[in-house]
Structures are given as structure tokens and as C-alpha cells.
Amino acid sequence: MLIEDGMSWKTRFTNTILLNNKLWPNDYEVNIVFVPQTDNPAVQNLTYDKYKYLFNKVFQNAIFIKHDKKTYQQLNHYRNDVIDFVSDPYDQLVGVQIFSKLNSIGGEFLKVEALEIESWQGENIRYTIGTESPEWEILQDLERDIDNPWWKTELPSFCSFFKDDLTWDEIGFTINDDRKLQVIKGGLQ
């Protein structure tokens, strides 16, 4: 995957998926190509930190389910994040919803141009998702019945059933404009 003037970040996470009424362990590998939309390094870094938070704190050890309130209520009492998807959590639709969430969070600062996703349960078939991918049409058709799609909000909300959305400031993602870089003994402070 090559995008001129872009940056690429590869990450992985493990979680559990609910398919055919059975919980399955899964391991994902994701490669994201994004292009800076601002020349402000502080905003770029904050956006990148939000992206890392998404994978390292939210998706890691989460339970991925099909959008179903009853299933959500059954699993929500565990300490894992329960994240709903428009269909069973197959790699293509997981990928397109993650792509959408990333651009909702930071698309005006670090715009995602392409996302590759593969998983162990998906037999390590790698799907490449861009803005013209056919998965977007599937997503549009299936998301019509969902009132609060988490992948369309810039807030740190990752479940369509959760109504009390926190803000990024409330969970500690802020830029202190008073902080200046100072050179001390050849390094940055």
C-alpha cells in the first residue's frame, strides 16, 4: 500500500469476536496510511495518540458483536469493552467501521487514506479498504437501523448503545498551548 506524501502505521490487537453464538479469540493486524492535513505537530501528535488509544485501550481485549441490544446487555457486565458492528464482525466491515471512526476522530488533522486489516479467524486474508471500497455501500445499507453509530462520531465512544459520551478532554487528551519546547543540553525538554 503506497500513498505519496503519506505515513504508514502498523499495529495489532487481540480480542474476542461473537460469531454463530460462540465466542472466538482473535488477533488482528492493521496497517493504516494517513496523510497530515495540518502543519501543527502538536495537533498531529495528539491525533496520532488518539489513534493509538483506539487500538491499545479500546479494541485490545474488547468483545466484538453484531449490533444487538440484548447481546450487548448480556455481555456488558464484564470488564471488557463491548463494541457493536453493523453485522457479524467480519474483517471487511470491522475495517470499514474502524476507517470511518479514525477519520471521524482526526480526519481534518490526519486523514486516513487506506486501511489494511487481517485477522487470525479470517484466515489471515488481508483486506484493503479505501474511500472507494465496496464495503462502504454495505455499511450504508446496514447502518440505517442504528441510532447512535459510534464510528460516525469524533468522541471517544465505541458502542452504539452507550448514551453518555465522554469527551477527549475528559479522558486526558488535551494540548496545553502554554507548553513551549525548550532546548536544554542538546535535547528537548
- Residue 74's domain is classified under what CATH number? 3.30.479
Domain annotation covers residue 83: yes
Domain annotation covers residue 98: yes
Domain annotation covers residue 180: yes
Q: What would the pLDDT profile of 87-141 be if each residue is shown by its tens digit?
A: 999 999 999 999 999 999 999 999 999 999 999 999 999 999 999 999 999 999 9
Q: b vs e for 96-110, b when ≥16 Cβ sit within 10 Å of the residue's Cβ?
A: bbbbbbbbbbbbebb
Range with the largest mean pLDDT of 34-38, 61-65, 139-143, 169-173:
61-65
Q: What would the pLDDT profile of 55-79 be if each residue is shown by its tens digit?
A: 999 999 999 999 999 999 999 998 8
Assess whether pLDDT exceeds 90 at residue 173. Answer: no
**Residue 16 · residue 121 · CB < 8 Å:** no
Per-residue DSSP letter, 165: -
Domain annotation covers residue 2: no
CA nearest neighbour of 80 among 93, 67, 104, 64 = 64
Domain annotation covers residue 63: yes
> Does the global pTM surpass 0.85?
yes
Phi-psi region of 67 (alpha: psi -120 to 50; beta: other; left: phi over 0): beta
* pLDDT grade for 178, boundaries at 50, 70 and 90: very low
* Rounded Cα–Cα distance for residues 106 and 110 (Å): 6
Structural domain harbouring 160: 7-188
Domain annotation covers residue 16: yes
* Amino acid residing at 167: T
Number of domains in the chain: 1
**Residue 105 · residue 47 · CB < 8 Å:** yes
